Copies of this chain bind each other. A is one copy, B any other.
């Protein structure tokens, strides 16, 4: 699954476009953030993306989980937001295209 890294400097509208594209392409996408400012941009993007994909019949939902990651050798707690169509069953996943991981600014 594609992972989008969102930061405090990320533009919510740009991230929303990336979410909508990935969701249409592969049925699910993951956002990873560290810190309150980055999470704020990510959640704004999710709220915007919900409108983008609604017309395609996608009922976008978000599943937040914690993740322990290393940044410059230091242990940090990230938040991962699984972004999926509500109907998407993780037990029987759709075929997914791995587009790799990149940061959106």
Contacts and interface: CB of A to CB of B under 8 A. Distances in A.
Nearest to A80: B47
A36 interface: yes
Interface residues of A, number: 20
Interface of A: 35-37, 39-40, 43-44, 46-47, 50, 60-66, 79, 84, 86
- How many of these chains are in the complex? 2
Given A44-B79, A61-B61, 4 more contacts: A39-B43, A50-B64, A61-B63, A61-B86
Contacts of A84: 61
A60 B89 CA distance: 13
13 contacts: A39-B40, A39-B43, A43-B64, A44-B66, A44-B79, A46-B64, A47-B65, A47-B66, A47-B79, A50-B64, A61-B63, A61-B84, A62-B63
